[in-house]
Amino acid sequence: MAAEEWAQELARHLGDRMISLTPFARTLGRVKFRPEAAREIFRAVHDDLGFDHLSMVGGIDWVDRREVIYTLWSDRRVAYLFLSADLVGEAPHIETASAVWPGANWHERETWELVGIQFDHHPDLRHLLMPDGYAFNPLLRSFKLHEPEELEVKTRHV
């Protein structure tokens, strides 16, 4: 499929909820979208564009903002697609993808506890890799390596 055709198809389905499309090697590109429109974007990408498998949800801390990334696979197109959204502010949050792809459930729990991104309407947002009550988001850049004793104090009630 020619690149322009694909860009037009994306623009037709996503409209102005899409901010940009950046080419990415061996995929159909990186789509950056507005986080307010996450629910419509997920529906459109799943139902209209045929990306029926969510491989991964992840998050990146860029210090001034946090980025949440979705890796999608389509059996029909035999191709990957990246979705990403920039979240600004102290308490970044975005709509959950687990209503569209149920497999997002645990990925979002992991992203929530490690990068500190809140997923609205998530069915079961609990700690996944850390014990309940863990007081840190360890993959944030503001997280310093702790002396073991310090960590112990913070997690003693576990």
Partner 1 sequence: MSAAPENLPRPLTPGMPPPVLPMADAAPAIPFLEIEALRAQQFIPAAKEALGAMIAEQGRDRLTRPVFNWAGRNSLFPLHWGLACCAIEFAAAFGARWDAERFGVVPRSSPRQCDLMIVNGTVTWKVAHKLVTLYEQMPEPKWVIAMGNCATGGGPFRTAYSVVPGVDKLVPVDLYIAGCPPRPEAMLDGILKLEQLIRERKE
Binding site for partner 1 (CB under 8 A): 129-131, 134, 136, 138, 143, 145-149, 151-152, 155, 158
The SS3 call for residue 21 is strand
Is 37 or 130 the residue whose CB approaches partner 1 more closely?
A: 130
Q: How far is the CB of 87 from partner 1 (least distance, A)?
A: 22
Q: How far is the CB of 48 from partner 1 (least distance, A)?
A: 40
Angstrom distance (rounded) from CA 103 to CA 54: 7
Is 4 or 147 the residue whose CB approaches partner 1 more closely?
A: 147
Long-range residue pairs from 11-19, CB within 8 A, at least 24 positions apart, any chain: 13/44, 13/45, 13/48, 13/49, 14/41, 14/44, 14/45, 17/41
Is 121 or 146 the residue whose CB approaches partner 1 more closely?
A: 146
Q: How far is the CB of 131 from partner 1 (least distance, A)?
A: 5
Specify the residue for token string 């890796």: 71
